[in-house]
Amino acid sequence: MFSKRNPKSKTEGHARSSRAAEMASMRRGTGGRRRTIAAARAGLFAATCMIVGMTLVPHAVQAQSLPGCTATTLQDPERQVLDCGNGLVIDKEAAASLTSQTPQSSLELGSDAVLIEVSPRDSFQVLTPHAIATVRGTVFAVDTQEGVTSVFVVKGKVEVTRRDGSDPVLLGPGDGVDVREGEPLTVRQWPQPRVVQLLARFGR
């Protein structure tokens, strides 16, 4: 005698097989989604690192030269040295605004400071918004800030006037003058702390 199969058991078996297939499919789908999410997170992390890197890593300082001059960027403190040949060397603060079409004869200093060594010549001028410094061979510094230009002579002689050429004064080694509108141009031997502070801006 053959036993009769229970139709209900057969149906339950199909149901279990169907559920197992669905679970396997869900697991495969979940695994795929997890891999997609992981890949997306990895891409986001890489992009974030790139952005942070670009933000945190400073750009290299680009040396800015003048016609006929070779620029070298130095650190501690940050500054640029322009070797213009013919005995003209300009040491300028990194932020100094310095322009010239003919650096062998004149410079325009708009802000901050320069230290200049120039060999003997007929004339050499540094023009600022407040003053004109004229030399014939010397080492001197010019510092331009808001409302004032200061000139200090390390060696040699420098004539300083107002921007319109008035009120000329002559500076020798150790002398300095502050040029302000409405105040007389008074030549003084600068105190050592002020000299040290100024020259330290050029690593001297």
DSSP code of residue 20: H
Q: Which two tokens stand for residue 21?
A: 């297939």
In this structure, are residues 52 and 36 in contact, taking their beta carbons and an 8 Å threshold?
A: no
Question: In 45-147, at which residue ranges do the beta strands (DSSP E only) sit?
Answer: 70-74, 79-83, 88-93, 97-99, 106-118, 124-127, 131-135, 138-145
Mean pLDDT of 98-125: 94
Cα distances (angstroms) measured from residue 44 to each of 32, 34, 36, 78: 18, 15, 12, 37
Instruction: Please tell us whether the domain made up of 70-200 is placed in CATH 2.60.120.1440.
Output: yes
CA angle 77, 104, 69 (to 5 degrees): 50
What pLDDT score was predicted for residue 122? 84
Q: Above 80 in pLDDT, residue 200?
A: yes
Mean pLDDT of 122-134: 94
Mean pLDDT of 97-110: 94
Q: Is the dihedral of CA 167, 168, 172, 173 positive or negative?
A: positive
What pLDDT score was predicted for residue 61? 42
What pLDDT score was predicted for residue 30? 52
Beta strand 169-171 with 138-145 is unpaired
Higher pLDDT, 181 or 2: 181
Q: pLDDT-based confidence at 121, cuts 50/70/90?
A: confident
In this structure, are residues 180 and 56 in contact, taking their beta carbons and an 8 Å threshold?
A: no
Residue 70 to residue 129: CA distance in whole angstroms = 26
Mean pLDDT of 41-51: 48
Q: pLDDT-based confidence at 130, cuts 50/70/90?
A: very high
Higher pLDDT, 137 or 175: 175
Question: In the chain, at which residue ranges do the beta strands (DSSP E only) sit?
Answer: 70-74, 79-83, 88-93, 97-99, 106-118, 124-127, 131-135, 138-145, 148-155, 158-162, 169-171, 175-179, 188-189
User: pLDDT tens-digit profile of 147-169?
Assistant: 999 999 999 999 999 999 999 99
